Amino acid sequence: MTTKPWPAKVLTVSDGVASGHRDDASGRALVALLEERGFEVVEHRVVADGEENVSDALLDFTHDFAGLVVSTGGTGFAPRDQTPEGAMRVIDRHAPGLAEAMRAVNPLGRLSRGVAGAVGGSIIVTLPGSPRGCVEQLEAVMDVLPHALALLNQAPTSH
């Protein structure tokens, strides 16, 4: 029996990418990793930094959606880094274990304010803006995400 891949959406949060002044290397890296790990990336969007931009995009991404939503960018200490605040507006149930595991993968992870949690049938994971950092942090939790999505959406699991 084959299982259908979970859908995923990628949100790049960056003033520079949104204005066309920077390349979206992190977003592309996440799309590649997700597809390599069996997810079906159904949307990839770019928004400028800011709490409201992030919350609006995440609300749109998660509306009637059962799958994984990952963002890259805006999780640091710069004044415009407001991705966690935008995500907190949307998340119904927090998943601190995911955020803790993501931060533990690299000493620089301690500088990430990224959050994770569930809303409806979606899991949201906010990741750093660097290509290496976002991939490392997503890889740290990738093994449990399909099971978490199955539990969240009451799909059959092995237990």
pLDDT category, 3, cuts 50, 70, 90? low
Can you give the pTM of this predicted structure?
0.95
Q: Is 17 helix (H, G, I), strand (E, B) or coil?
A: helix
d(CA 72, CA 67): 17
Bridge partner residues of 10 (DSSP): 44, 70
Q: 141: domain range?
A: 7-152
Question: Going by C-beta distance under 8 Å and a sequence separation of 6 or more, which residues neighbour residue 125?
Answer: 68, 69, 70, 71, 98, 102, 114, 116, 138, 141, 145
Confirm whether 46 is domain-assigned: yes
Residue 55, in any domain of the structure: yes
Token readout for 127 is 């990741």
CATH classification of the domain holding 93: 3.40.980.10
pLDDT in tens, 22-73: 999 999 999 999 999 999 999 999 999 999 999 999 999 999 999 999 999 9
CA-based angle 115:130:95, to the nearest 5? 15
Domain count, the chain: 1
- What tens digit of pLDDT does each residue of 90-142 get? 999 999 999 999 999 999 999 999 999 999 999 999 999 999 999 999 999 99
In a domain, 158, yes or no: no
